Amino acid sequence: MSGGYIELEERDRRWQEYRSSLKSGRENHNAEYETAHNLKSRVISVLGFCLS
């Protein structure tokens, strides 16, 4: 994993873990993951910018 490269299997595992935590409403306290609240806020701000 030199240079920040993440294997596809590891990326998929992390995505599934993250997605599961979002669906269940759990806050993931792992600093690698964005909280559901922060993700929603970021999406709304991006969409608001795109629509204006």
Single pTM value for the model: 0.44
Ordered mean pLDDT values, 10 residues apiece, the chain (52 residues): 75 88 73 75 84 66
Position 28 scores a pLDDT of: 59
Which residues make Cβ contacts (< 8 Å) with residue 9, sequence separation at least 6? none
